[in-house]
C-alpha cells in the first residue's frame, strides 16, 4: 500500500497518497509561481486553495484518502495555472507586492504541536527543527523555571496560525516545503529567486553599506534584548522570592542593617486592614507587568519576530495605568491618616554625686515575645512585631551629647501622626515608654510600645542624654544594646573593645562624644 501524507489545504486536513501528493504539490507550486508576484496574488492563491478543499470534500468527505484521480479531476476543474486566462495588467507593482506579501510573522503552529505549538511555530519561523527549541525550553525550565516563564509568555502572546495566509506568514518562502506535509518528501525549493540583474554600482555600494548598518543595528538590538530579558528576569525573580516565598535574608543587605523581609507583613500595621490585599495586588501588577513586558520585548528583539500583539500590549498598558491610578488613590487615602503630627518633649535632671553615671534598662526586649523584625537603614528605626498579640515594639533613638553646663540631663521627645492633631495627641500619650532618674543613674526602657492592636502612626521616641565631659559612663547589657543599635555606624570599630566592670561596659564622655574606656 502506498504511504499517505497528511496535508492542510484551505484550512482542512486531508490524507493523500504519496504520488497524488507529488502531483498536487507541483500544481500548487506552479500556482504559487504564477500568482505570488501579482497584486493580490496571495489572496487568489488562498481562494483557490479553499476551492480545492471544497472539491476534495465533495469527492471524499473528510475521511477518505485523496488519490491521484481526485487530484487529476480537481486540476481539470480548476485548470492548470498556465491555462488561466491572463487578465491582470503585466508588471503592475511587481516588486512592491512581493515584499508586502512575504511579510513574516510568528504564530503558534497548529500542525506541529506538543503543548501549544510555540516551539513548532519558532521552528517554522526560523526554518529550524522545532526539537531544538523544545530542548532549549526544557533545559531553561531548570534555570529558575525561566523556560517555563518564557514559554507561558509566548503562549499567551502568540496567536495560532489559522488561515493559509497566516501559515504563509509563518513559514515564509518555505511555505510549500514546510506547511504542506511535514512527513512528505520535503518539497523542491525551486522558486527561482528573481534577481534584478541591473547591477548598478551605486546600488551595490549603498546596498553593502546598508547591510553593514543593518547587521550592526541588529547586533545592538540583540544585545539590548538580552539586557532587557536579564533585567526583567532578575526583577521578576526577586519579586517572586521576596513577596511570594519570603525568601530569607534576600533583602538583608550586609552592613546596612536593612531588613525588609517582613515589610509586607508590617504593612498590615500601617494601613487599614481591608486595603492590604489591594495594595499588595495592585503593586504586584504595577511591578510585574513592566517586567513581563521587558522580557517579552527583549525576546522579540533577540529573535526579531512579528506577532499580532498590538491589542495584547494595549490591554496590558491599560491594566497597568489603571492599577497605578487605583494604587495611588488608595495610598493617598492612607496617607491622609498621617497628615498631622503631634510632638511632646520632657526633661529631667540627673542628680550627681560621683563622676560615674549608670545607664540601666528596666523593660528589656529580651522579655518581649516577638516573631518578626523590620529595620530601616538610615534612621536606625527598628520594629519588632508580635503577630499573635498584634503588638509592636520599637527601639528608641538614643543620642549622647556633651553637656554644656556641667549638669546631667535626659530629654525625651515623642511624636505620632494622625489624620487630625487631636487624634495624634491621643496616640502620642498612649505611647508606652518609661524613663526615670536616680542618684547617678538613668533608667530607660529598651523599647517603647504601642497599646495592643493599635496601628502604627509614624511613632517615634528619641532620648537625648547630656553628660558632662570626663564622666565615666557605665551601661548595662540592655542599655548597651540601645547605644549599639544607634551608634553602630558612627562608632564603627569602637564596639568590642570596651572594658568591662562586672556586667557594665565602661565608656568615657569626651569633649564631644562617648569613647570606650582605655582607648
Partner 1 sequence: MDIENTKAQMRKGILEYCILSVLSRNSCYASDIIKELKEAEVIVVEGTLYPLLTRQKNAGLLSYRWEESPQGPPRKYYELTDTGRSYLSELDNSWQELVGSVNRIRTR
* Surface-to-core class of residue 372, CB atoms within 10 Å of its CB (0-12 exposed, 13-18 middle, 19+ buried): middle
Residues between 78 and 137 that touch partner 1 (CB under 8 A): 78-81, 83-88
By the rule CB under 8 A, 43 interacts with partner 1: yes
Nearer residue to partner 1 within complex by CB, 87 or 405: 87
CA–CA dist 359, 504 (Å, integer): 9
Are β-strands 65-66 and 12-17 bridged in parallel, bridged antiparallel, or unpaired? parallel
Site size toward partner 1 (CB under 8 A) is 31
By the rule CB under 8 A, 11 interacts with partner 1: yes
- Candidates 19, 40, 366, 426; binder of partner 1 (CB under 8 A) is 40
By the rule CB under 8 A, 61 interacts with partner 1: yes
The β-bridge partners of 17 are 4
Dihedral sign for Cα atoms in the order 122, 128, 134, 135: negative
Nearer residue to partner 1 within complex by CB, 47 or 355: 47
Least distance (Å) between residue 91 CB and partner 1: 15
CA–CA dist 128, 119 (Å, integer): 10
Dihedral sign for Cα atoms in the order 214, 220, 226, 227: negative
CA–CA dist 298, 325 (Å, integer): 27
The one-character DSSP state at 445 is: -
CA–CA dist 143, 380 (Å, integer): 38
By the rule CB under 8 A, 10 interacts with partner 1: yes
Contacts of 15 (CB under 8 A, 6+ apart): 4, 5, 6, 64, 65, 66
Q: Over the Cα atoms of the chain, what is R_g?
A: 38
- Candidates 17, 28, 41, 286; binder of partner 1 (CB under 8 A) is 41
Q: CA-based angle 132:134:137, to the nearest 5?
A: 110
The three-state secondary structure class of 66 is strand
Nearer residue to partner 1 within complex by CB, 47 or 469: 47
User: Where do we find the cell 503562549?
Assistant: 155
Dihedral sign for Cα atoms in the order 424, 429, 434, 435: positive
Nearer residue to partner 1 within complex by CB, 31 or 418: 31
- Candidates 5, 7, 24, 48; binder of partner 1 (CB under 8 A) is 48
Which cell is 29 given? Answer: 507550486
- Candidates 47, 72, 129, 204; binder of partner 1 (CB under 8 A) is 47
Contacts of 451 (CB under 8 A, 6+ apart): 430, 432
* φ, ψ (nearest 5 deg) of residue 68: -60, -40
Part of the chain binding partner 1 (CB under 8 A), chosen from 36-44, 370-378, 494-502, 510-518: 36-44
Least distance (Å) between residue 89 CB and partner 1: 9
- Candidates 6, 26, 57, 334; binder of partner 1 (CB under 8 A) is 57
- Candidates 54, 373, 380, 411; binder of partner 1 (CB under 8 A) is 54
CA–CA dist 291, 493 (Å, integer): 41
CA–CA dist 359, 473 (Å, integer): 7
Part of the chain binding partner 1 (CB under 8 A), chosen from 38-46, 134-142, 148-156, 254-262: 38-46
Least distance (Å) between residue 237 CB and partner 1: 46
Nearer residue to partner 1 within complex by CB, 14 or 171: 14
Least distance (Å) between residue 6 CB and partner 1: 17
Report how far Cα 337 is from the mean position of its chain's Cα atoms. Answer: 31
Part of the chain binding partner 1 (CB under 8 A), chosen from 9-17, 222-230, 423-431, 506-514: 9-17
By the rule CB under 8 A, 53 interacts with partner 1: yes
Least distance (Å) between residue 268 CB and partner 1: 55
Nearer residue to partner 1 within complex by CB, 77 or 230: 77
Nearer residue to partner 1 within complex by CB, 47 or 379: 47
Least distance (Å) between residue 61 CB and partner 1: 8
Nearer residue to partner 1 within complex by CB, 38 or 154: 38
- Candidates 1, 58, 193, 195; binder of partner 1 (CB under 8 A) is 58
Residues between 324 and 363 that touch partner 1 (CB under 8 A): none
Nearer residue to partner 1 within complex by CB, 84 or 247: 84
* Surface-to-core class of residue 257, CB atoms within 10 Å of its CB (0-12 exposed, 13-18 middle, 19+ buried): middle
Nearer residue to partner 1 within complex by CB, 50 or 324: 50
Are the C-beta atoms of 53 and 9 separated by less than 8 Å? yes
Please count the other Cβ atoms lying within 10 Å of the Cβ belonging to residue 139.
11
Please count the other Cβ atoms lying within 10 Å of the Cβ belonging to residue 268.
19
The residues that touch partner 1, with contacts defined as CB under 8 A, are: 10-12, 31, 35, 38-41, 43-44, 47-48, 50-51, 53-54, 57-58, 61, 77-81, 83-88
Amino acid at each position: 500500500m502506498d504511504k499517505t501524507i497528511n496535508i492542510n489545504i484551505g484550512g482542512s486536513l486531508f490524507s493523500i497518497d504519496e504520488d497524488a501528493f507529488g502531483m498536487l504539490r507541483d500544481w500548487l507550486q506552479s500556482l504559487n509561481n504564477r500568482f505570488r508576484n501579482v497584486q493580490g496574488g496571495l489572496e487568489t492563491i488562498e481562494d483557490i486553495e479553499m476551492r480545492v478543499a471544497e472539491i476534495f470534500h465533495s469527492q471524499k468527505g473528510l475521511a477518505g484518502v485523496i488519490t491521484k484521480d481526485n487530484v487529476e479531476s480537481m486540476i481539470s476543474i480548476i485548470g492548470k495555472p498556465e491555462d488561466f486566462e491572463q487578465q491582470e495588467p503585466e508588471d503592475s507593482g511587481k516588486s512592491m507586492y512581493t515584499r508586502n506579501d512575504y511579510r513574516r510573522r510568528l504564530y503558534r503552529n497548529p500542525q506541529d504541536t506538543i503543548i501549544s505549538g510555540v516551539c513548532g511555530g519558532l521552528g517554522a519561523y526560523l526554518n529550524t527543527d522545532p526539537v531544538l527549541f523544545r530542548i532549549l525550553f526544557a533545559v531553561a525550565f531548570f534555570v529558575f523555571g525561566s523556560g517555563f516563564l518564557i514559554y507561558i509568555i509566548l503562549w499567551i502572546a502568540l496567536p495560532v496560525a489559522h488561515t493559509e495566509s497566516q501559515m504563509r506568514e509563518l513559514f515564509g518562502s518555505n511555505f510549500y516545503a514546510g506547511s504542506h506535509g511535514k512527513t512528505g518528501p520535503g518539497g523542491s525549493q525551486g522558486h527561482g529567486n528573481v534577481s534584478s540583474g541591473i547591477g548598478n554600482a551605486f546600488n551595490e555600494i549603498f546596498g553593502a553599506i546598508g547591510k553593514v548598518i543593518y547587521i550592526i543595528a541588529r547586533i545592538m538590538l540583540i544585545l539590548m534584548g538580552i539586557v532587557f530579558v536579564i533585567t526583567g528576569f532578575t526583577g521578576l525573580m526577586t519579586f517572586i522570592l521576596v513577596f511570594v516565598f519570603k525568601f530569607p535574608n534576600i533583602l538583608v543587605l550586609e552592613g546596612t542593617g536593612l531588613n525588609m523581609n517582613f515589610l509586607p507583613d508590617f504593612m498590615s500595621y500601617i494601613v487599614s486592614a481591608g486595603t492590604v490585599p489591594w495594595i499588595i495586588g495592585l503593586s504586584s501588577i504595577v511591578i510585574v507587568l513592566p517586567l513581563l513586558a521587558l522580557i517579552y520585548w527583549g525576546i522579540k528583539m533577540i529573535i526579531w519576530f512579528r506577532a499580532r500583539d498590538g491589542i495584547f500590549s494595549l490591554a496590558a498598558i491599560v491594566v497597568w495605568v489603571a492599577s497605578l491610578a487605583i494604587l495611588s488613590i488608595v495610598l493617598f487615602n492612607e496617607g491622609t491618616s498621617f497628615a498631622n503630627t503631634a510632638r511632646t518633649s520632657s526633661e529631667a535632671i540627673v542628680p550627681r554625686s560621683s563622676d560615674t553615671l549608670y545607664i540601666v534598662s528596666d523593660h528589656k526586649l529580651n522579655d518581649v515575645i516577638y516573631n518578626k523584625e523590620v529595620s530601616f537603614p538610615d534612621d536606625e528605626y527598628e520594629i519588632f512585631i508580635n503577630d499573635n498579640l498584634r503588638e509592636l515594639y520599637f527601639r528608641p533613638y538614643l543620642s549622647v551629647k556633651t553637656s554644656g553646663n556641667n549638669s546631667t540631663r535626659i530629654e525625651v521627645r515623642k511624636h505620632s501622626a494622625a489624620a487630625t492633631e487631636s487624634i495624634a495627641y491621643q496616640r502620642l500619650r498612649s505611647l508606652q515608654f518609661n524613663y526615670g532618674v536616680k542618684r547617678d543613674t538613668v533608667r530607660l526602657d529598651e523599647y517603647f510600645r504601642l497599646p495592643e492592636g493599635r496601628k502604627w502612626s509614624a511613632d517615634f521616641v528619641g532620648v537625648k542624654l547630656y553628660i558632662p565631659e570626663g564622666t565615666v559612663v557605665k551601661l548595662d547589657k540592655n542599655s548597651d544594646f540601645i547605644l549599639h543599635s544607634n551608634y553602630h555606624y558612627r562608632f564603627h570599630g569602637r564596639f568590642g573593645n570596651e572594658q568591662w566592670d562586672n556586667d557594665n561596659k565602661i565608656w568615657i564622655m569626651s569633649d564631644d562624644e562617648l569613647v570606650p574606656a582605655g582607648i
